[in-house]
Amino acid sequence: MRIDLNMRQLEAFVRVAECGSFRQAAQQLGQSQPALSGAIRRAEQTLGARLFDRDTRHVRITAVGQELLPIARRILRDFDDALGDLGEFMAGRSGCVTVTALPSISVALAVRAAAAFMRTHPQVRFALTEAPADLLLTAVEEGRADLGLSVRPAPQQRLRYQHLLDDAFVLVCRRDDPLAARRSVPWSVFATRPCIVSAPHSSIRAMTDAAFLRLRRPVRPVLEFPSVAACGAMVSGGLGITALPRLALQLVDMAALATVPLVQPTVSRPIGIVTRIGRSLSPASRAFMAGLQAEAQSPGRGSSAPSAT
């Protein structure tokens, strides 16, 4: 059987039981004595039993009251704890944040932002996954990730994009390649040299294909690389040259490699925070987003990052 007592009635009952006085309990609760007496009376009517035996001089808790007292204290304590937990959540100090990122953005940006966030929000459960752009955007769209770090999504996707930085493309070649001594290199160089491109599903491939189309000269790649790290190994092995965004260089062993700015045209990969339209983010997720924005604006990010040599 469910007994319908409210929190105000339970609090009034516990305070009278502890004070042994309606007058003192009313003073501590900041309410009038008639209001307190009314709350106790309604509780007794709900229970069908008296909670206190009282006369003009004494207030004594009954057997039913003695049985209710530890239960009421536990309910009030649990309620206070729950409200405290809710307060922590609303302040962004608890909850869960799930982020999915392009591999290069995960290493260059997300990990640093996550480290700073977890130092200031140790009670928040944080998860970071990596995925190519198409799978990443699907995860955000389906609600499996709170936010993504990716290129700008297509207009037809129900996703919101908040720009963080522009990730400039550079030529990557061997250190002993004559191109390494150039101050800049036009994209047309890929029509004259063996070149290596990323797999078709990659966000990098979409950008390089668009740049190649603007050349009006055929570019015939000799290889497709399965990962950015593998691309670096292929270039080091003398299999060709490639174009990579600067943030992706952190995934590459650059010991034998050099980078040169690419021009004619200048191409940058837009990187931003992607969230689902119509989905409200938790306070913790919003706090992490603020940290991401601060990290993206710090020196050495995006197109302002120094060239690897």
In whole angstroms, give the CA distance from residue 211 to residue 304. Answer: 21
Question: For position 299, what pLDDT does the model report?
Answer: 57
- DSSP one-letter string for 290-307: HHHHHHHTSTT-GGGSPP
| CA 100/CA 50 separation, integer angstroms | 59
> For residues 169 and 267, is the Cβ–Cβ distance under 8 A?
yes
Report residue 229 as tokens: 């790290």
pLDDT tens for the chain, residues 1 to 309:
556 788 899 999 999 999 988 989 999 999 998 999 999 999 999 888 999 998 767 889 998 888 899 999 998 888 877 776 666 666 666 688 999 999 989 988 999 999 999 998 888 889 999 998 889 999 999 989 999 999 998 887 889 999 999 999 999 999 999 999 999 999 999 999 999 999 888 889 989 999 999 988 899 999 999 999 999 999 999 999 999 999 999 999 999 999 999 999 999 999 999 999 888 888 889 889 999 998 888 755 544 343 444
DSSP strand pairing (196-198 vs 223-225):
parallel
Rama region for 300: left / alpha / beta (φ>0; ψ in -120 to 50; rest): left
User: What's the token pair of residue 214?
Assistant: 């603007």
How confident is the model at residue 267, as a pLDDT? 95
> Is residue 55 within a helix (H) or strand (E), and if so which, with residue range?
none
Which runs of consecutive H residues, i.e. helices, occur in 132-202? 133-141
Burial 270-300 (b: 16+ CB within 10 A, else e): bbbbbbbeeeeebbbbebbbebbbebbeeee
Between the alpha carbon of residue 212 and those of residues 65, 188, 201, the distances in Å are: 83, 8, 17
Q: What is the pLDDT of residue 300?
A: 56
Q: How far is CA 203 from CA 50, 135, 171, 172, 295, in A?
A: 72, 11, 17, 17, 22
The confidence score (pLDDT) of residue 42 equals 92
Task: Give the containing element (helix H, strand E) for 172.
Answer: strand 159-174
